[in-house]
Amino acid sequence: MTTSTLAKTASRRRWTATLATTAWASALLLVMIGSIVRVSGHGLGCPDWPLCYGRAIPPGLASAWVEFSHRSFGGITSVQVVLLAVLAWRGHRDQPWVVRPALLAVGLLAIQILLGGLHVILEIPPETGLAHTATALLLVGTLAVVLAGASGFGQRLEQAAQHDLVHGSLPALAALATYVLLLTGSTVTRSGASLACLSFPACGAVERATRQLIEIQMLHRYAAFTVTALTLVTLYWMLRRTGQTPLRTLGYGILGLLALQITLGILNVALRLPAGIRVLHLTVGATFWSAMVALWRVTRRTTGTAAAP
C-alpha cells in the first residue's frame, strides 16, 4: 500500500470517527426532542405527513413549530447517518464491526421515518408510539457500536478489555436488560400508568388505578431493579480486573449515569411527573443504553476484527 493510499485511508477513518460522534449525538438529541414533543402534548402539532398543514413550512402556530423542529432535526440526523454509512463502506471494509452497524443504521433510519409518518397519520396511537421509540433506541445503540469501533477512544477501550481478559457476556446481558427496561418505561408512559404507584420502592397505588396499570408500573420497577443489579455486578467484575485504563473511566461513567437515572425515576414519582424530569429521564436512559452497548462492543471477543491504525 502506497503512502498516499495510507494517508487517504487514515483521513477517511478520522472523518468516520468524527461523523460517528456527531451522528450518535444527533440521534440522542432527536430522542430528547421527540420526548419534548410528546410531553408537551404537541404530537399532532402537524396533523399531516410529510407536510405540515399541507405546507413545506408550517403556519405560525406554536404546536406546529414544536413538531416541525423534531422533523427538521430528524432530517439533519438522517443526512449524517447516510454519510456515515458511505464513509464506513469506503474506509472500513476490513472492520465489519464498523461497516455493518453503519449500514444497519441506514435501514433502521428508513424504518424510523416510516413509523414516524404512520404515527401521525394514525393520530399517535400508543402502539406505533412504542414501536417508534423502540426503533429510535435501536438506532442510537447501533450508532454507539459504530462509534466504539471507529473512534480512537473506543479502540483503546477494546485494547484494554483484551489486555485484561474481559469478556462481553455479562455486559451483553446488562445491555439487553437495559433495552427491555426502556421499553417498559415507554409502555408505562403510553398506557397512563406513570402515577399508578405513588411511592417508592413500594407501590402505594392510588384508588383509581386499575390492577393492570399497577402491574405495568411494577413491571417497569422490577426491570429497573434487575438492570441495577446486573450493572453493579458487571462493573464490580470489570473494575476489579482493570487498572487505570479507559475501561475504568467508562465504568465510572456508567455508574454515574445509573445513579442519575435512578434519581430521576424517583423524582418523577415524588414530584408527580414534571415535564423537564420526564424528558431527562428518557434522555439519560438512552445515554445509559448507549454506554452499555459500547461496553458490550469493546469487551466482545471477535476473531478477524482488524483494529484501525
pTM: 0.92
Counted residue by residue, the chain has a size of 309
pLDDT digits (tens, 9 = 90+) for 79-104: 999 999 999 998 888 889 899 999 99
Q: Give the model's pLDDT for residue 242.
A: 72
Q: Copy the grid coordinates of residue 148.
A: 466504539
Contacts of 61 (CB under 8 A, 6+ apart): 45
Please measure the distance between the N-terminal and C-terminal CA atoms of the chain and give it in whole angstroms.
14
CB 247 within 8 A of CB 298: yes
Q: Give the model's pLDDT for residue 2.
A: 61
ω into 246 cis (within 30 of 0): no
Provide the H-helix boundaries in 92-125.
Answer: 96-121
Three state DSSP letters for 192-210? CCCCCECCCCCCCECCCCC
- The whole-angstrom separation of Cα 50 and Cα 56 is 8
127 three-class SS: helix
- The whole-angstrom separation of Cα 305 and Cα 299 is 13
Q: Give the model's pLDDT for residue 305.
A: 41
DSSP for residue 55: B
Instruction: Mark the ranges of the chain whose per-residue pLDDT is less than 50.
Output: 302-309
Q: Give the model's pLDDT for residue 122.
A: 95
Bridge partners of 197?
Answer: 205
DSSP for residue 201: S
| CB-side neighbour CA atoms (13 Å) of 172 | 9
Q: Give the model's pLDDT for residue 303.
A: 35
Contacts of 60 (CB under 8 A, 6+ apart): none
Angle between helices 211-239 and 246-270 (to 10 degrees): 160
Q: Give the model's pLDDT for residue 168.
A: 67
Q: Give the model's pLDDT for residue 5.
A: 57
Strand extents, DSSP E, the chain: none
Cα–Cα distances (Å) from 278 to 3, 69, 160, 169, 200, in that order, read 52, 19, 36, 32, 17
